[in-house]
Amino acid sequence: MNEEEVIQLVKENDHAAITKFVEKYKPIVERLSFQVGVNPKDIADIVQDIFSTILQKMDRFRHEILSVRVYQITINTAKAYHRKQKREQKLMNQSYQEQKVSQRYGYYFDKQDHMMLHECMQGLNTNYKLPLILYYFHDKTYEEIATILKCKTSTVTTRMLHGKKLLKKSFEQTEAKGGYPHGRKTIG
């Protein structure tokens, strides 16, 4: 039986032809999936998805070489599997980081935003960090901060402006790394 006959019988929903088709290509699909990097525990599910896709698209196959389409669909399904794995891993990592930060600092802060702000401010110089902490976490005015830090209000203003710029840069770097999943407050 040539490939055109197999395609025609499968299109007609001939169960014997479908079984023969799956038996012929299943080892190839499994081996290729494994070689492309699909986790062995997921191969059965991927193979099922591949044959489901092939059988759904069989009516679109014309005079093509069936084995070529099987390889193409297997490779595309494996690529989709890898993209899905990366997305899931990224979400798990973000959730883990968020949980880790929450466990580490949850006692000290009321909001998740404050925890992320704290994480970003750790890299700032004390001259910029202290006014930002007093302003954002303790709701102090510039005048109150000047009194607490024993400096002029204009000095606090300058440190706040420069500190906000540095903090904004830190936020952007953290965002680029995917470390701030809930968006951010506008700073600066």
pLDDT score of 188? 43
- CA-CA-CA-CA dihedral for 128, 131, 133, 135, to nearest 10: -140
pLDDT score of 14? 75
Mean pLDDT of each 10-residue bin along the chain, 188 residues long: 70 80 89 85 91 84 73 88 84 73 56 65 84 81 89 95 91 68 43
pLDDT score of 105? 56
pLDDT score of 26? 92
pLDDT score of 160? 94
CA pair distance 31, 50, nearest whole angstrom: 13
pLDDT score of 87? 85
Structural domains of the chain sorted by starting position, each given as residue range(s) with its CATH number in brackets: 3-89 (1.10.1740.10), 106-176 (1.10.10.10)
Scanning 37-184, the segments in alpha helix (DSSP H) are 43-57, 66-105, 112-121, 126-132, 142-149, 153-176
